[in-house]
C-alpha cells in the first residue's frame, strides 16, 4: 500500500492533487509546527492583471505552535476570499458549480481552525475531481518525537509498503534515512510533478502553478482528472 503524508495547504495547486491521486492513503500531517510564509494559509490566483495572493491572517501566538492549533480568528476574511474568487472568475464557464462547491466552507458554516478549513476543502475538491484516495489524519495515530521517527512510525501504523515523498524532500532525507524505512519494509519513492496538460481558460494569461481553483473554474468535471496527472 502506497502512503502519502503532507501538511494541509490552502486551496493548493494541481500538483498537490496529483500527489494525492498517486497514493492509496493520504494522511494529513498537521500535528507539526506551523511555518510562516508557507502554503498553509495562502495561495495564488490569476486575473488579467497577473498573479495575486489570497491569505488567511495567522496571529503571532500561533506561529510557534502546531498547524492543527491555528484558529481562524476573523472569519469575515473567508467571505472576502469567496467574493474575490467570484469576481475573479465571473466569466468562467463553471463558476456556478465551483462557487456552490466552496460556499459551505466560506459562507454557510466556516470551520474554526485553519487545519479544518484546509482539510475540508482538500477532501471536497478531491472528490469533485474524481480522486478515490482514502484520507486519514495523523492526530488519530501515535506519533514519535523526532521528524524521521514520526514518519516511519506513521507509515508502519498505516501498513505502508511504499512511502511517496515530494522530490524536494531529497534535500533532507539521506540515503541512511532511506535505509531506516527499508529496514521496516517500506520503500521510499519520490514524486515528480509535471509536465501537465495546458487547459483553455477565460483570460489572456496562463500560469501552471496557481491554485487548483483556476483549473476547476475552466474545465468540465469529467475532464479534470487528466489535467492533474503529469503528461508523458
pLDDT, tens digit, 9 for 90 and up, residues 11-23: 999 999 999 999 9
pLDDT digits over 100-131, tens only? 999 999 999 899 999 999 999 999 999 999 99
pLDDT the model gives residue 160 = 97
Mean predicted lDDT score pLDDT of the chain: 93
- Residue 71, domain extent: 2-228
Separation CA 222–CA 126 (nearest Å): 13
Which residue is it, cell 498505516? Answer: 158
Helix/strand/coil percent split, the chain, to 5 = 45, 20, 40
Q: Is the dihedral of CA 228, 34, 6, 8 positive or negative?
A: negative
pLDDT for the residue 93: 97
Predicted confidence (pLDDT) per residue in 33-53, tens digit: 999 889 999 999 999 999 999
pLDDT band at 230 (very low <50, low <70, confident <90, very high): confident
Rounded average pLDDT over 196-221: 95
Q: Structurally, how many domains does the chain consist of?
A: 1
Amino acid at each position: 500500500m502506497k502512503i502519502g503524508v503532507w501538511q494541509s495547504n490552502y486551496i493548493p495547486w494541481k500538483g498537490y492533487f496529483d500527489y494525492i491521486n498517486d497514493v492509496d492513503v493520504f494522511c494529513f500531517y498537521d500535528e507539526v509546527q506551523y511555518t510562516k510564509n508557507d502554503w498553509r494559509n495562502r495561495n495564488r490566483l490569476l486575473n488579467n492583471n497577473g498573479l495575486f495572493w489570497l491569505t488567511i491572517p495567522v496571529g503571532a501566538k500561533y506561529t510557534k505552535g502546531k498547524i492543527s492549533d491555528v484558529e481562524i480568528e476573523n472569519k469575515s476574511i473567508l467571505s472576502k476570499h469567496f467574493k474575490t474568487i467570484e469576481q475573479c472568475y465571473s466569466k468562467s464557464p463553471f463558476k456556478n458549480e465551483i462557487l456552490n462547491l466552496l460556499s459551505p466552507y466560506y459562507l454557510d458554516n466556516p470551520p474554526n481552525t485553519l487545519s479544518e478549513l484546509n482539510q475540508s476543502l482538500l477532501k471536497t475538491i478531491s472528490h469533485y475531481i474524481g480522486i478515490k484516495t482514502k484520507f486519514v489524519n495523523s492526530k488519530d495515530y501515535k506519533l514519535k518525537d523526532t521528524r524521521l521517527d514520526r514518519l516511519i512510525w506513521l507509515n508502519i501504523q498505516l501498513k505502508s509498503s511504499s512511502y511517496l515523498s515530494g522530490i524536494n524532500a531529497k534535500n533532507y532525507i539521506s540515503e541512511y534515512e532511506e535505509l531506516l524505512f527499508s529496514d521496516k519494509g517500506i520503500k521510499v519513492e519520490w514524486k515528480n510533478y509535471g509536465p501537465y496538460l495546458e487547459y483553455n481558460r477565460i483570460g489572456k494569461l496562463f500560469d501552471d502553478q496557481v491554485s487548483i481553483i483556476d483549473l476547476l473554474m475552466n474545465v468540465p468535471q469529467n475532464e479534470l482528472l487528466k489535467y492533474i496527472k503529469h503528461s508523458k
